[in-house]
Amino acid sequence: MKVRSVKLREAHKAAAAASGDGRPSFSSVVWDQLAHHIVTASASDPIISIHDPLLPSAPPKLLHHHLDGVTALALSPNSTCLASGSVDHSVKLYKFPGGEFETNITRFTLPIRVLAFNKSGTMLAAAGDDEGIKLINTVDGSIARVLKGHKGPITGLGFDPNGEYLASIDSTGTLIYWELTSGSTLHTLKGVAPDLGLDPSVMNVLSWSPDGETLAVPGLRNDVVMYDRDTAEKLFSLRGDHTQPICFLSWSPNGKYMATAGLDKQVLIWDVDKKQDIDRQQFDERICCLAWKPVGNALAVIDVTGKYGIWDSVVPSSMKSPTEDIPNLNSKNGLLFFEEEDLQEPSFFGSLSDLGEDSLGESEPPCRKRLRKQSAFENDLDEDVGDELSLPPKVESRKKPYHTHRASKEDGNEGQRGRVTSMRLKMQEAFQPGATPMQPGKRRFLCYNMLGSITTMEHDGYSHIEIDFHDTSRHPRFPSMNDHFGFTMASLNEKGSVFANSCKGEKNMSTLMYRPFSSWANNSEWSMRFEGEEVKVVALGTSWVAAITSLNFLRIFSEGGLQKHVLSLDGPVVTASGFKDELVVVTHATDCLPSNDQMLEFRVFNISNRTQPLRGRLPLTPSSHLTWFGFSEEGQLSSYDSKGVLRVFMSQFGGIWLPLFSASKENKSENYWVVGLNASKLLCVLCKNSDLFPQVMPKPVLTLLNLSFPLASSDLGAEALENEFMLNSMHLSQIQKQIDDFSGAGLNTASLDDEAFNVEAAQDKCILRLIASCCNGDKLERATELVKLLSLEKSVRGAIKLVTVLKHPNLAERFSSILEERLLAESKETSRTLLPSSNRNVSVKDDIAVTRTPFSTEKSSTLGTDNVLSSSRLSAPLFTKKAKSQGAKVEMEKNKLSQTTTDDTGKAKKVEQVTNPAKVAELHQEQPSRPLNLFAKSLTNQEKKAGDADQVQSSRPSNPFLKSSVK
């Protein structure tokens, strides 16, 4: 036997010390969906512990709500709700992973032993020593049904993954299949598992295979027996080196392996297909609960003393991973399995007060025999004759009609079909941006965006919908409405709101409804119905309403309800959003990758022009999914994924997504629920205690976070300055595109020119601070690269003065050389572009305003009576002669900065002041105020007179951020 060491650490106080009689206690362990948390509990301890598996030494989060030991735990499939049952007879619900107490959802008259959620999380099954099974609707907390039939404490429950059956087993070894649609028993198998007597620390358990085809139950010969899903016939058994009965078992996520724990203190790992054990571990105490890690190759174990641990690398690396090719099944999400007339049949349900009565009738519905694969019986022939004695006794069977979808699975290449299904079902489901999940008895958001919110809460068979605007001064309060359709999604803009629901009713019909906020006509509200077609996502624009359906149809309606377009999309929709005339739709491009990475595609439609200006792949962080998608206030496409990365689509590099925020760089104890963003801020709601979404009450508070690139750690420690530099560059690029668009449309660009100048000035200050950091860090080559990026002439001169004061004469000389080279090149360009003038006197060696691409240009002024003529668009900005008065002023400032005192203390203070990046910007503030023309120099009286004689407007230079001067 291979020797391994699995370290266990105490999670709960020892059972013997707690009970006082030395008896062991049953303990529970479960993983959450993403394997971020492990939850443990013990029948000897009223406290539930939530552990971080990555930080095992960190103290767990403790939940103190039960009055006695906790005997059962269950997590909803999406890991947002934790249920616990106790010796104190109560079943409680908590938020997860925050652990906030929600409600006491039900009580029993005796201790609870087992809990189980159905696949959609809408139903919780609870059972225990009362011998009855309560099926509880988690949406409203009501008890949908009580199932009676067991004659002993119920210790095992399991909803079949296909949502048709519930299996239960008791301490006497009786197994029952229940049909959920009617609440009746299909099969009753007596004595198939060990009779455990009255020891509460040992429980008969059961487990459905992940594909829902097989039910595993502990056998009578220290083995595991597999039963058919529909007929309850024995298929095969797993028998190995367990010397005592099996007390717990668990399927791996892909169903290829099984872990079993026995009373002999062994844990065995089985290859189910080969029917043989592949590894084992001997423990000091009996392991009473096992849980496979949902992602990875590990198994969580806990023993009867309350100690838990993680067995890593359970399956040898040479074999298939236990999380590879996980089967997943289409389920009716959120569907309750009971009709009203079913609840009124006294023969199939009752209360716990009459559990002693036999609820089973004498008549049986027609039997069904499932088509069997011959190989299943041939495998049984290999077992020895002794197995005949372990076959289950006669089955009391109530079988349901055969389902055609199951027969189709039997035909053809079942393995290949299973692999395809597994891949497809990993694809992300459609979601509405700004919506939150349904919560029992609580109001939730159907929509939350930068304009306002739409909330709903179910009450007495209908829902109550309210619409609220953030700015009530611009938008009056809209009256609430009663929703009898059960809307599950909504979208909101300034003109109106649109609602839709999932398919419901006998005709499997989905409804779309639009409600304008104001209209000159009466009865302006309209609705559309789709039979056999379910609305997945809705969106609103300036004058259109969009709905994307389960048939991959994009349906466009006018505000008045006219059906204008029906388009076919390439794949299933994920989400959609609208902004003015543009609609963006995100769809699945292909199936998921083997790493479970989503492959998404986005399309932008211009509804008014009937064009598709943009289409491409949507990048996501590896192993993440999309959680929000929409437009910024300026109309930029934006996305946010489950790893906390915000991306914005830019036109740079032919169109690219830029990561502008990463939650990993922020407070890791908070989650960010994105609402929207603008040019510089991300607007979100901070969710405390690991909540994934906000509650309607108290009203969420919007938090503004600065956008920032996920930069590497700089060797200068100047990440903040580098981030500011990149953001300014991005902003200038956006302004340039807007200026080009406005110019092409013949619109005035004056306001954009002003904005460009302000950003340029801020960028130059940032670059000067970076140059100071480079000088202090002796990164002179980087400083040389930075000086070439300065836009304003006074900034270049400021950089020369800065490096001079910082005692880098070689760098100052290089800066001056760069200045002169740029000057020569640009003066030649100016001479070629401007018409020659006999009185023109341009001297390169005079004090000249120096710029380079992307330097800003300034108004060209000449002495005498020369005219400034219009110039054509240049490949590089102009260099213009600086006026004498301005040159004298610069020279005075230069001399002033160059002066140093003979006092050493004064020198130190001078250098210290300059090396402070916050003070660097002062070096290039040569003009007390900005002239009317952003880039014009101050003129002498003589120049003003000459200029007033005859002036014409020069054309705009090639640099889009430079404002042309107009006198």
Integer Rg of the chain from CA: 37
Residue with tokens 């120099």: 937
Structure confidence at residue 736 (pLDDT): 86
Phi then psi for residue 231, to 5 deg, are -95, -10
**In whole angstroms, what is the distance from residue 822 CA to residue 820 CA?**
5
Q: How far apart are CA 59 and CA 49, in angstroms?
A: 9
**Amino acid 449: pLDDT:** 92
pLDDT tens-digit profile of 276-288? 999 999 999 999 9
670 vs 693: CA distance, rounded Å: 11
**pLDDT given for residue 478 in this prediction:** 74
Instruction: Classify burial at 900, counting beta carbons within 10 Å of its beta carbon; exposed 0-12, middle 13-18, buried 19 or more.
Output: exposed
Report how far Cα 292 is from the mean position of its chain's Cα atoms: 24
642 alpha carbon, distance to own chain's centre? 2
**Token digits for 335?**
């569907």
The pLDDT, as a whole number, for residue 89 is 93
DSSP for 159-206, written as a single string: E-TTSSEEEEEETTS-EEEEETTTTEEEEEETT-S---TT-TTS----
Q: Where do the domains of the chain lie?
A: 22-312, 443-706, 718-824
Buried b (16+ CB within 10 A) or exposed e, 865-878: ebebeebeebebbb
Topology alike, domains 22-312 and 443-706: yes
Question: Angle CA(905)–CA(910)–CA(911) in degrees, nearest 5?
Answer: 100
Q: Strands, DSSP E only, in 607-701?
A: 611-618, 626-631, 637-641, 645-650, 656-662, 671-677, 681-687
CA distances 740 to 36, 56, 815, 934, Å, are 49, 57, 32, 19
Tokens linked to 696 = 């309607």
Tell me the CATH class for 443-706: mainly beta
| CA distances for 665 relative to 36, 37, 622, 672, 726, angstroms | 19, 21, 17, 12, 17
How big is the chain, counted in residues? 967
Rounded alpha-carbon distances, angstroms, from residue 362 to 114, 182, 230: 30, 16, 21
Task: Please name the helix (run of DSSP H) or strand (run of DSSP E) that holds residue 948, with its range, or none.
Answer: helix 941-949
Nearest-angstrom CA–CA distance, 67 and 88 = 6
Interatomic CA distance for residues 869 and 855, integer angstroms: 21
Name all contacts of 499-502 with Cβ < 8 Å and 24+ positions apart: 499/446, 499/465, 499/538, 500/535, 500/538, 500/547, 501/535, 502/333, 502/334, 502/534, 502/535
* Pair type for strands 207-208 and 214-218: antiparallel
> How is residue 107 written in tokens?
């009580």
Q: Which of 898, 904, 693 is nearest to 807 (CA)?
A: 898
Q: What is the DSSP letter of 881?
A: B
CATH superfamily placement of domain 22-312: YVTN repeat-like/Quinoprotein amine dehydrogenase (2.130.10.10)
Q: What are phi and psi of 92, to 5 degrees?
A: -120, 150
Q: Is there a cis peptide before residue 77, judged by omega within 30 degrees of 0? A: no
Strands 123-128 and 112-117: antiparallel
* 813 contacts 799 by C-beta, under 8 angstroms: no
- Give dist(CA 262, CA 245) in Å, integer: 6
List the beta bridge partners of residue 626: 641
Distance CA 366, CA 401 (A): 8
338 exposed, middle or buried (CB, 10 Å; 0-12, 13-18, 19+)?
middle
Strand order in the sheet with 45-51: 27-31, 38-42, 45-51, 61-64
Adjacent-strand bridge partners of 145: 135
Pairing of strands 396-397, 184-189: antiparallel
Looking at residue 4, what is its pLDDT?
60
Q: Give the DSSP per-residue string, 463-492.
A: EEEEEEES-TTTSPPEEEEEESS---EEEE
- Burial (CB < 10 A; 0-12, 13-18, 19+), residue 544, is buried
Cα separation of 362 and 741, whole Å? Answer: 81
Which residues are CB-contacts of 696 (< 8 A; sequence separation ≥ 6)?
Answer: 442, 443, 444, 445, 455
Residues whose CB is less than 8 angstroms from the CB of residue 378 and which lie 6 or more positions away in sequence, other chains included = none
Closest residue by Cα to residue 211 from 63, 410, 479: 410
The pLDDT value recorded for residue 54 is 84
Q: If you count DSSP H runs as helices and E runs as strands, how many of each does the chain have, helices first? A: 13, 52
Residue 681 tokens, joined: 């801020």
DSSP for 677-725 reads E-SSEEEEEEEPTT-SS--SSSPP-EEEEE----PPPPTTS-HHHHHHH
What is the DSSP code (8-state) at residue 255?
S
The CB-side HSE value for 460 (13 A sphere, CA atoms) comes to: 2
What pLDDT was estimated at residue 260?
96
Q: Which residue has the tokens 């760089």?
A: 665
Q: How far apart are the first and last CA of the chain?
A: 94
For 327, residues 6+ apart whose C-beta sits below 8 A from its C-beta are 210, 211, 254, 255, 418, 421, 422, 425
Q: Are the CB atoms for 390 and 221 separated by under 8 Å?
A: yes
Residues of the chain with pLDDT under 50: 1-2, 16-20, 331-425, 837-967
